[in-house]
Structure 1
Amino acid sequence: MDDFQQYLEQLLSQTPLQMGNIIETIIIILVLIVIRFVIVRIVYRQAEDTSTRYRWRKNVTYTIVFIGFLLIGRTWIEAIGSLATFLGLLSAGLAIALRDPVTDMAGWAFLMWRKPFNVGDRIQIGENKGDVVDIRFFKFTILEIGNWVHADQSTGRLIHIPNHLVLRDPIANYTSDFEFIWNEIEVIFTFETNWRKAKSIIEKITNDHLKDYVNDAEQQIRRATKSYLIHYRNLTPIVYTDVVDDGIKMTIRHLSNPRSRRGINQMIWEDVLDAVANENDIDFAYKTVRIYQNQIEGKEKLKPAKDDLEHSSEQSISGSAE
């Protein structure tokens, strides 16, 4: 009890200027907290969308903190007596003791100013990729996709990434400005397949599923060209033909929303499987070993003549007799 009384007497014995600054700081903090609370309550009553509430809450918090920093800093700068002295001491202390937090705040400022991504965007930074769910002063958080889960679907893990990495590592944004990515599906048929018929079937299936994407993509391309030099000659699905070791490869190249890529792949594959099952002259190719007999399976003009076959057989028999 005596120690507390001594502390109180010591505190009250401080200069009036210092006590005034302490009281003014407390008042500023309380007033700003009340203002933030009132604004957030108003926003929650007016807006029902979760993302809108989140953005308002974050922006109001940042603004209040910035104003508070200015007001409290001005109060104590006057107490110190010199702006240059204050900034010098502050910068020296931050540079030595708070290097990582300072670079994180610089990264946060870059995120707020340049906006390489926003909350809700799907991004990849370094080896981590996912949907951005939160951005703060020192870190941002993504809901991870990929890893052991295929087709860019969520793993359920939250990854917290320091903000300074946005100044160091490349950032890939799946959904900013242009909310589509190019996707490819490979289908391989045997060499004996009626490949023209197979290609027309695949083109019809692809166009039936993806025709609605083209109009949306054209509108977003026009919007994206205002910020970036993006130009695509053709946005409609295309089926490319190629020959590989296993057979004839058809590659479907099409636009897809990043979050629905797996679903689109499934719908296209199911229709392709159903269509091929009903065709007797179309069959899938797969890894296997086969013996090709040219005299039986080859083209007529390329088959060896009967005389050549008989002569070859006679030579084989005579060679065996010797």
Structure 2
Amino acid sequence: METFLKLFENPSVLKFTKLGLWILLIVLIIGFLRKLLKKRIEDTSVRYKAQKGVEIIGYFLIILMIFMAITLDDIKDYTIIIGLFTAGITFTLQELILSIAGSFYIFFVRVYKPGDRIEINNIKGDVIDIDSIYTTLMEMGEWVSSDNYSGRIVKISNAFVFKGPIKNYSMDFPFVWDELNILVTYDSDITLAKDLILAEANELLSEYSQKSKTKWQEMVERYYIENATIEPTIAVNLTDNWIALNLRYITDYKLRRDTRNKLFSNIEKTIRSTKGKVTLASTTLQLLKIPELEVQLKNKL
């Protein structure tokens, strides 16, 4: 016990012990404030931002205290020790340090925020939480088609914001372009087919087109990007079997699957109402019957 007490007579040991106690106190205060905010603030968005703000301030104070403890005193005698300690910590906790740096980068640069739909490290999903270490996603895709949730919660290290591209489906421009191929036969009235498809698309997507025009104009003013056609367009492609009418349109990034389904249903009904002027095409196989062969065998005596 005496040896243990004498250990604290060393100024350096005493200093780092006080530093450790202060860090522990700040961590406890962060936890207390998070629980207090959870009880007092009902709005989910405001509560989330307030809790994250408390975390960021707390971690900033911890980093500031460590920096002050090392730099305020005369550290000439501890240069080698601090250098080796820092190198060891950096090598051991490099992923953790990069993740914490990534969290600051995400919040201050606004790479993405909770509610955004992103793809990072080849994983696509909606951001449901961002903490100091991980970004949590509600995964989409994998064994389910289109933009449906798979049901899995995925945690991705914030360090990945420095390691590869981040695809954001909702930041600045919450719309995406999609395509739908309508296949019609060669004996169909192509002009009528194009007019019918465009009419259905314009009727269904008029709201998206108006909203997206305003957003796209903001994009053109903010970024070095060319103007784009927002209204639905059709491109014709001739194949060996049919004429493919490729409809390109814009829709809300969260309603891509629903929009595609409504478009195809409406177009299919409209085409059928033309009474044969426009006919949907499909692959057709014709099976031919092999002619019967009569074989007569003669016995040789």
Same fold (TM over 0.5): yes
- Residue matched to 2:49: 55
State whether residues 221 and 230 of structure 1, in contact with CA within 8 Å, keep that contact through their aligned partners in structure 2.
no
Give the length in aligned residue pairs.
283
CA distance in 2 between counterparts of 1:83 and 1:77 reads: 12
**SS of match in other structure, 2:255:** helix
Instruction: Using structure 2 for the length normalisation, give the TM-score.
Output: 0.81
CA distance in 2 between counterparts of 1:140 and 1:74 reads: 30
**Which of 1 and 2 has greater Rg?**
1
Q: 2:230 aligns with which of 226, 235, 247?
A: 235
CA distance in 2 between counterparts of 1:35 and 1:41 reads: 10
Q: 1:70 aligns with which of 58, 64, 82?
A: 64
Deviation at 1:152, TM superposition (A): 1.7
CA distance in 2 between counterparts of 1:252 and 1:128 reads: 28
CA distance in 2 between counterparts of 1:129 and 1:83 reads: 51
CA distance in 2 between counterparts of 1:57 and 1:83 reads: 41
Confirm or deny that 1:142 pairs with 2:137.
yes
Confirm or deny that 1:250 pairs with 2:245.
yes
State whether residues 121 and 174 of structure 1, in contact with CA within 8 Å, keep that contact through their aligned partners in structure 2.
yes
State whether residues 37 and 47 of structure 2, in contact with CA within 8 Å, keep that contact through their aligned partners in structure 1.
no
Deviation at 1:125, TM superposition (A): 2.1
The one-letter amino acid paired with 1:59 is G
Deviation at 1:286, TM superposition (A): 0.7
- Residue matched to 1:314: none
Confirm or deny that 1:119 pairs with 2:117.
no
CA distance in 2 between counterparts of 1:67 and 1:117 reads: 25
Deviations 1:192-243 (A, max 9, x none): 1122222211111111110011221122123333542233332111122222
1:221/1:28 Cα in 2 relative to 1: closer, same or farther (>3 Å)?
Answer: same
Deviation at 1:249, TM superposition (A): 1.4
State whether residues 240 and 251 of structure 1, in contact with CA within 8 Å, keep that contact through their aligned partners in structure 2.
yes
1:34/1:165 Cα in 2 relative to 1: closer, same or farther (>3 Å)?
Answer: closer
Deviations 1:50-75 (A, max 9, x none): 23321221122111121123125424
**SS of match in other structure, 1:200:** helix
Q: Which residues in structure 2 correspond to 1:37-116 (within 5 Å)?
A: 37-38=32-33, 41=36, 45=40, 48-75=42-69, 81=75, 85=79, 88-116=83-111
CA distance in 1 between counterparts of 2:242 and 2:268 reads: 17
1:180/1:164 Cα in 2 relative to 1: closer, same or farther (>3 Å)?
Answer: same
- Residue matched to 2:293: none
Hey, which of these two has a bigger chunk of helix by percent?
Answer: 1
State whether residues 36 and 64 of structure 1, in contact with CA within 8 Å, keep that contact through their aligned partners in structure 2.
no
CA distance in 2 between counterparts of 1:166 and 1:23 reads: 35
**SS of match in other structure, 2:150:** strand
- Residue matched to 2:282: 286
CA distance in 2 between counterparts of 1:52 and 1:204 reads: 43
Instruction: Using structure 1 for the length normalisation, give the TM-score.
Output: 0.76
Q: 1:132 aligns with which of 100, 110, 127?
A: 127
Q: Which residues in structure 2 correspond to 1:96-245 (within 5 Å)?
A: 96-245=91-240
1:30/1:168 Cα in 2 relative to 1: closer, same or farther (>3 Å)?
Answer: closer
**SS of match in other structure, 2:124:** strand
1:84/1:58 Cα in 2 relative to 1: closer, same or farther (>3 Å)?
Answer: farther
1:83/1:238 Cα in 2 relative to 1: closer, same or farther (>3 Å)?
Answer: farther
**SS of match in other structure, 1:108:** helix
Deviation at 1:84, TM superposition (A): 7.8
Deviations 1:159-200 (A, max 9, x none): 222233222222211111111110001110111112222221
Deviation at 1:106, TM superposition (A): 3.7
**SS of match in other structure, 1:221:** helix
- Residue matched to 2:271: 276
The one-letter amino acid paired with 2:163 is R
Percentage identity across paired residues of the two chains:
26
1:130/1:31 Cα in 2 relative to 1: closer, same or farther (>3 Å)?
Answer: closer
**SS of match in other structure, 1:225:** helix
The one-letter amino acid paired with 1:97 is T
